[in-house]
A and B are shown apart, each in its own frame.
Chain A
Amino acid sequence: MDSVSDPALLTLESCTVSFGGLIAVDELSLQVRPGELVSLIGPNGAGKTTVFNAITGVYPLARGDIRLEGTPLGGLPPHRVARLGVARTFQNIRLFRGLTVLDNLRAAMHHGSDYDLLRAALRSRRWAATEARLQAKARELLGLFELEGRAEEPAGSLPYGEQRRLEIVRALATGPRLLLLDEPAAGMNPAETQRLMDLIRSLIERFSLTILLIEHDMRLVMGVSDRVVVLNHGREIAAGTPQQIAGDPAVIEAYLGEPTH
């Protein structure tokens, strides 16, 4: 496929990730179009998070090819992948717990600075202007996610649900095109999950995002996804709309085991 006419934002082509003898992701191919929300589901150990780690450059590919709008991501270190517009959250929340909520966001906005070390050390006018701009942008984002009241609090002191939300805002602060969400609803009650679902849907519009989502909460997955890809043992076993997936015998088998009679 020609990369110019490639309609996909993210393309995985027969990607394989292996740890020694263990094949965690096996010949996985996947396309995510701009503005789409695709969910990756599957039983524990199916290789979902490994796919995220392969896309973001944490794990190297044994075989295959990953492209973002035609740009190959293979071999790039995580920070380079991030600068190309891929942001992520983590399954086990990884906030900068000792820093304030505001500084968590500002740390993510480092690419938006246009001053060098000397200007920073001298507090030049450009430093002042840039800092004011970053601060305003950070506060605006916090406002959108109803976290502005927490700006000066250490991130580690926030309640669990707000920490999850802050991690998503922090990822957005990098100005991504593709957002990878790893189990954002883990540990949330149904009401919180519902609010999260609305939030995720609104992100796509507001930030012209494309989202790849890993989630175990099926209500959430079925409610927000355009398409669902089901993994088991590192392989794709089904893909389609939420309705198609819900009735797929292979999926039911992967989750519940083979029927005994």
Chain B
Amino acid sequence: MWAHYLPRLVLYVAIGSVLVGLDVGLPRLLNAYLVQILVFVACNIVLATSLNLINGIAGQFSIGHAGFMAIGAYATAWLSTTHGQRLLAPYEGQRLEPLLIVAYLVVLMFLGGLAAALGGLLIGLPSLRLRGDYLAIATLGFGEIIRVLLLNLEPVGGATGLRGIPQYSSLFLVLVAAVVTVAALHNLGNSVHGRSLLAIREDETAAEALGIDCAHYKTSAFVIGAFFAGVAGCLYAHYTQFIHPRSFDFMKSIELVLIVVLGGGNLRSVILAAVAITLLPEGLRLVKGALHLPFDPRMAIYSALLIAAMLVRRERVLQAVLPGRKGGGLRE
């Protein structure tokens, strides 16, 4: 028993200590703005690796991932503003409070994940009948429906957004969530489940002929991917304390697709791409001041760099878009 789990336990304790160190040390070294960027980096890692399960491993081209994030964010933010805060109010200032907040947030992450997973089930079902471009458009539509619905839903703020969400999340918790997500998705990829998804990506007819229930696995990819996106939404909302339907629009979904495509389906590259794509627009803010330019060239440089990245990584990009090239899924 111990021989099987001990090495990993040691690894996780080590990772945990590093994260605690970061959590204690970083806010002292960095200002709130930089800490927030790191939170966004970790959120995007969760979002991109979960989208990678749907797009990269199962090969189901989805461009509505922000919709799942929105469901998780709004469902949990609404719960916290209406019930959660009141529930925790009696313990304010007490020694137990930080622990209770963490416990509450863990439960909330699950609820947010489950709500998003339900959305994943909803969109997973049409995916059984749709392929390629058609599926992409259906998922795009799903994301937009969620956004427009939230825009008109007064109990969660409608067009003014939902404010006053308690800041229960922290850099530490978001980093832990990112590590857990990556570990779970990595392990999943190296299992019967992951190999069945890869088989479906490669050739659905052949997979079915080998006894793989394609409908079941494709739906499950959407459900699992959506679950983690919902968790990310929950953490995001409870860090920024304010959410708006605009935060989960089409551009957010596209950003995530971009990360997955740039990462080429390989988990490690997807994580690197998530870090790069999140940091890049922020880093480019410095360009204007450094060069004393009269205009802000940030987005122009960002776009140019993306084009350059796609050209350099063409092999990987092709591999993600056209199945059946060398290397697959989680192979390093």
Partner of B198, one of A82, A107, A120: A107
Task: Tell me the complex Cα distance, A79–B183, Å.
Answer: 30
A:115-137 near B, CB below 8 Å: 115, 117, 120-123, 125, 127-128, 130-131, 134
Query: Given A79-B211, A79-B214, A82-B211, are A95 and B206 also a contact pair (CB < 8 Å)?
Result: yes
Of the stretches B21-29, B102-110, B252-260, B320-328, the one at the interface is B320-328
Contact in complex: B191, A156 (CB < 8 Å): no
Task: Tell me the complex Cα distance, A87–B192, Å.
Answer: 19
User: What sequence of 0s and 1s flags, for each residue 171-195 of chain B, a beta carbon within 8 Å of any chain A beta carbon?
Assistant: 0000000000001100110111111
B99 on interface, CB distance cutoff 8 Å:
no
Query: Given A94-B203, A125-B4, A154-B326, are A170 and B210 also a contact pair (CB < 8 Å)?
Result: yes
Task: Tell me the complex Cα distance, A1–B318, Å.
Answer: 56
A197 on interface, CB distance cutoff 8 Å:
no
Chain A residues lying within 8 Å of B327, measured Cβ to Cβ, are 98, 154
Task: Tell me the complex Cα distance, A131–B191, Å.
Answer: 8
Chain A residues lying within 8 Å of B220, measured Cβ to Cβ, are 117
Contact in complex: B202, A127 (CB < 8 Å): no
Contact in complex: A107, B207 (CB < 8 Å): yes
B8 on interface, CB distance cutoff 8 Å:
yes
Q: Which of B188, B205, B210, B212 gathers most chain A CB within 10 Å?
A: B210
Q: Which of B196, B211, B224, B329 gathers most chain A CB within 10 Å?
A: B211
Contact in complex: A98, B202 (CB < 8 Å): yes
User: What sequence of 0s and 1s flags, for each residue 211-228 of chain A, a beta carbon within 8 Å of any chain B beta carbon?
Assistant: 000000000000000000
Chain A residues lying within 8 Å of B196, measured Cβ to Cβ, are 107, 110
Query: Given A96-B198, A107-B196, are A78 and B4 also a contact pair (CB < 8 Å)?
Result: no
A174 on interface, CB distance cutoff 8 Å:
yes
Task: Tell me the complex Cα distance, A119–B191, Å.
Answer: 10
Interface of B is mostly: helix
Interface of A is mostly: helix
Task: Tell me the complex Cα distance, A68–B198, Å.
Answer: 30
Task: Tell me the complex Cα distance, A108–B328, Å.
Answer: 16
Q: Which of A58, A121, A134 gathers most chain B CB within 10 Å?
A: A121
Partner of A97, one of B202, B208, B210: B202
Query: Given A79-B212, A110-B192, A156-B324, are A94 and B206 also a contact pair (CB < 8 Å)?
Result: yes
B1 on interface, CB distance cutoff 8 Å:
yes
Contact in complex: A107, B195 (CB < 8 Å): yes
B213 on interface, CB distance cutoff 8 Å:
yes
Contact in complex: B202, A87 (CB < 8 Å): no
Task: Tell me the complex Cα distance, A111–B207, Å.
Answer: 12
Contact in complex: B209, A88 (CB < 8 Å): yes
Query: Can you list 21 A-B contacts with CB-CB less than 8 angstroms, sorted by A residue number?
Result: A78-B209, A79-B208, A79-B211, A79-B213, A82-B208, A99-B198, A99-B329, A107-B207, A107-B212, A110-B211, A120-B193, A121-B184, A122-B187, A123-B187, A127-B187, A127-B191, A130-B192, A131-B191, A134-B192, A157-B326, A171-B210
Kindly list the 9 A-B residue pairs having the minimum CB-CB distance in the complex, ordered from nearest.
Answer: A82-B211, A120-B191, A96-B202, A94-B206, A107-B199, A113-B192, A97-B324, A98-B328, A121-B184
Residue numbers of A with Cβ under 8 A of B are 56, 58, 77-80, 82-83, 87-88, 90, 94-100, 103, 106-111, 113, 115, 117, 120-123, 125, 127-128, 130-131, 134, 154, 156-157, 170-171, 173-174
Knowing that A98-B319, A174-B211 touch, tell me 8 more A-B residue pairs with CB under 8 angstroms.
A87-B209, A87-B210, A103-B198, A106-B195, A115-B192, A117-B188, A120-B193, A170-B210
